[in-house]
A and B are shown apart, each in its own frame.
Chain A
Amino acid sequence: MHPIVKLVVQRLALGLLLLWATSILLFSLTEALPGDAAQAVLGQNATPQALANMREEMGLNRPAVTRYAEWFGGILHGDLGRSIINKVEISESVGRRLSTTIFLAFWAAVVAVPLSIFLGLLAVRFRERWPDKLISGLSLASISIPEFLLGYLLMYFVGVKLGWFPTNAIISDGMTLGQKLNAIALPVIVLTMVVLAHMMRMTRAAILNVMQSAYIETAELKGLSGFDVIWKHAFPNAIAPIVNVVMLNLAYLVVGVVVVEVVFVYPGMGQFLVDAVSKRDVPVVLACGIIFAAIYIGMNMLADIVSIIANPRLRHPK
C-alpha cells in the first residue's frame, strides 16, 4: 500500500476511536457526577418517592452500561433520543439548527480565511514596520476580549450608534440570500475577529520561516519585487502549515459559535445547547455535546490529513 494511504487510514481510525472514547467520557460525566436527570427535572426539593417514580419512568434504574449501549446504538442509527422537557425527538430539532449554525460558520470562514492570509502576507511584506506592528497589536487586543463582549461592542457601536446592520440575527426561510447575509453581518464579523488574530499570526510565522531559505535569497537577488517573492516563492512552500492552522481555527469557530449565537439571538445549535443546559435537559445536552465534539474532532483530523497529503516528501517516497 502507498505509505500515504496507510497514514491517512491510520489517522481516520484514530479519529473514530477518539470519537468513541469521547462518547464514553461525556456519558460517564453525566452518570458519575452527583445529581441525575430525574433530580434535574424535579429539582432539589423533590421527595425520595417522587424521585424513585421518575427514575423508574425514565428507565434510569437499569445499569449504566445498558443505557450507554442503547444511547450509542441510537446515535449510530441517527436517533438522538428524546428531550425530557418537551418529549420532542432531538434529531428533528437538531437538523434545522445545525444547518443554520453551519450557514453562520461557513460565511465567517469565507470572510476570515482569505482576509487572514492576505493580512499575514502583508505583515511579512512590511515586517518590523508599522503595518506589521499595527496588525500584531490589533490581534493582541482582540485576543484579550472575550467573544461575547466583542459581540456587544460591535452591536453598540456598529449596530446601534451607526445603524449599519441589524442587532439581532434573525433569519427565516422566506429571506433572500442578501437579506440573510445582512442579518448575520455582525455575528460574522465577531467570529472573523475571533479566529483572525491567531490565523494571521500563524500565517506570518509560517511564511517567515520559509523566508530564511536560500531560494528566497536567490529570488530577491534576481530582482523580484517584495510581494512577488512572498507570493510566488514563499507562500507555496508555506501552504501545508497554513492549511493546518486554517483547519484548526475553523474547528475553533465551532466553539465560538455557541457564545456568539446567544449574543445575537441566532437560532442555531449553540443557543439550543445553552438553553438545554439551563433547563437541565440532559439528553439534549449530551446530543449537542457529542455533535460539537464530533465536528471539532473531525476538523482536527482533517487538518492532520491535509498536512500529510500536502507534504511532498510523503507523497513521493524514495
Chain B
Amino acid sequence: MKNIPLSAMIGLFFTALYFLAAIFAPLIAPYGMSDVVSNEIWAPASSEFLLGTDSIGRDLLTRMIYGGRTTIFIATAATILSFVTGSVLGFFAAVSGGWIDQVLSRFVDLMMAIPSLILALVVLAVVPVTLPVIIVLMGLLDATRVFRLARAVAVDINVMDYVEAARLRGEGTSWVIFREILPNALSPLVAEMGLRFIFMVLFVSTLSFLGLGVQPPLADWGGIVRENKDGIIYGIPAALWPAFAIATLAISVNLVADWVLNRTTSLKGGRG
C-alpha cells in the first residue's frame, strides 16, 4: 500500500466513496427516493435539506444519492457486458483468423463509423425504453471499442511460442482463449476498463437528460438535470449538482486508471 502515489490514493478514496454511497443509498439518504418532503420547490440549502429541494419539493441530496446509485449501477453493468462480449469476440476473431476475423472486424468497423449516440437514438426510437434495454444497448455499442483493443492485443499474443505449444498438444479454441490469451491480455484491458466506465456514466447521463434513458420517478444524475433545468434561468443551481458529481467521479476513476496503466506497463517493460 505504501507504493501508491498520492493522486491514485485520492482517486481510490473518492471512487470508493461513490461506490459505497451507491451500495448503501437507502441507509445514507435522509428521506425516501421519491418522497415529496417540502411544500417549497427549489428551497435553498438548509439544515433540514442539505442541498435544498428539487422541482417538486423532493430532497435534492436524497435524489443525488439515489441518482448516483442508478447511474453507477447502469454504468457498471454496461461496462461488464461490453468487456465480456467485446473481449471474448475480439480474442475469438484473433484466434480464428480467416473469414471469421474479417466478418467480425468489418462489422465492428461499420458500427464505429456511425456515432454511438446516433445509433443509440435510432434503436431507442423502436424498442421500449427500460433499464435492461439501456444496459444491453450501451454495453453492445461500447463492445466495439473493446473488441478493437482485445483483438489487437490478442493478435500479438497469438503468435507466442506458448500458444503454439498449447495448440500442438491439441487444446481447443476455448482453452487457447481463456487459459492462454486472457491471462496475458488482462492488464491492458483492466486499464481500459476505467475509461470505458467513465464513458458509460457520461453516456447514460446524456440519454437520461434527453429523456430517453432512466425514466422517472427513478432518479439518476442525467434525469436530475432534466427535472431541474427550468430553474437555471431563475438563477437556481439545483441542476448543477450532477455536474459536480460526474466530474469528481470521472476524475477520480481516471486517476486510478492512470495508476493501473503505469504500474502494469512498467512491470511488463512498456508493453501496453
Contact = CB atoms under 8 A, between A and B. Distances in A.
B3 to A, nearest CB: 24
A138 interface: no
B114 interface: yes
A44 B118 CA distance: 24
Contacts of B210: 259, 262, 274, 277-278
Interface residues of A, number: 54
A300 B113 contact: yes
Given A29-B126, A160-B235, A149 B121 contact: no
Contact of A22 (B110, B121, B123, B225): B110
Given A140-B251, A141-B251, A147 B206 contact: yes
A278 B124 CA distance: 8
B117 A277 contact: no
A144 to B, nearest CB: 4
Residue of A147, A152, A153, A160 most packed against chain B (CB within 10 A): A152
A26 to B, nearest CB: 6
Contacts of A262: 209-210
Interface string A37-53: 00010001000000000
Contact of B115 (A263, A285, A296): A296
A285 B251 CA distance: 34
A22 B109 CA distance: 11
B122 A29 contact: yes
A40 B243 contact: no
Chain B interface residue count: which class?
Answer: 35 or more
A285 B205 CA distance: 21
A148 B225 contact: yes
A112 interface: no
A191 interface: no
A155 B230 CA distance: 11
Interface stretch (A4-12, A208-216, A221-229, A286-294): A286-294
A280 interface: yes
A273 B123 CA distance: 12
Contact of A140 (B110, B127, B242, B254): B254
Interface in A264-308: 273-274, 276-278, 280-282, 285-286, 289, 292-293, 296-297, 300
Contacts of A282: 125-126
A145 interface: yes
Contacts of A286: 122
Contact of A285 (B114, B117, B122, B128): B122
B125 A149 contact: no
Contact of B114 (A22, A159, A161): A22
Contacts of A44: 128
Contact of A146 (B125, B233, B246): B246
B153 interface: no
Given A22-B114, A293-B114, A285 B198 contact: no
A289 B118 contact: yes
A18 B113 contact: yes
B44 interface: no
11 contacts: A18-B113, A22-B110, A30-B125, A36-B126, A144-B254, A145-B243, A156-B232, A258-B117, A274-B211, A293-B115, A296-B115
Interface of B: 110-111, 113-115, 117-119, 121-128, 198, 202, 205-206, 209-212, 222, 225, 229, 232-235, 237, 239-240, 242-243, 246-247, 250-251, 254
Given A285-B121, A289-B119, 11 more contacts: A25-B114, A33-B123, A40-B126, A144-B250, A144-B251, A146-B202, A274-B212, A277-B125, A292-B118, A293-B118, A296-B115
